[in-house]
Amino acid sequence: MNEETSGLVAQYWAIGFFVFAVLALCTFMIVAASLLGGRSQGRSKTLPYESGILGTGSARQRYSVKFYLVAMLFVIFDIEAVFLFAWAVSLREVGWTGFLGAAVFIFILLAGLVYDTRVGALDWAPKGRTPRP
């Protein structure tokens, strides 16, 4: 083992020990619990634990696609805000060219918003007006 390697080991042995300790602790907890722990069977033992209340129905419910739509629209305009922050902190440096660029950017997103409204993406009620003439 040369000088450099032993230097590295001397400096970082604690990290290696930490990784080993984590793995060892996990193994110990799982193995010891499975060896020492008691087991009991029963009909109600296999039910999901809901703090003493019986669960009703399946957890796999279908919900309206509108929720995803809201999430997507949120992300789009959130990212718009992110870009506008970058523009805002460099407002003086980029000058009117930057203003023009930001304006084009905002107008393109505005066009998207207009489109969304027209095709009915913003109609939250189940039966809105017909999206397309």
Residues of this chain that interact with another protein (CB under 8 A) are 97, 108, 111-112, 114-115, 118-119, 132-133
The amino acid that residue 133 corresponds to is P
What lies within 8 Å, CB to CB, of 120 at 6+ separation is 128, 129, 130, 131
Least gap, CB of 39 to another protein (angstroms): 41
Task: Write the DSSP symbol of residue 99.
Answer: H
Judged by beta carbon, residue 17 or residue 99, the one nearer another protein is 99
Least gap, CB of 133 to another protein (angstroms): 5
The amino acid that residue 123 corresponds to is D
CA angle 47, 61, 77 (to 5 degrees): 130
Closest CA to 104 of 133, 84, 130: 84
Least gap, CB of 75 to another protein (angstroms): 13
Judged by beta carbon, residue 27 or residue 90, the one nearer another protein is 90
Q: What is the CA radius of gyration of the chain?
A: 29
Least gap, CB of 15 to another protein (angstroms): 20
Judged by beta carbon, residue 27 or residue 117, the one nearer another protein is 117
Cβ–Cβ under 8 Å, residues 82 and 64: no
Judged by beta carbon, residue 28 or residue 77, the one nearer another protein is 77
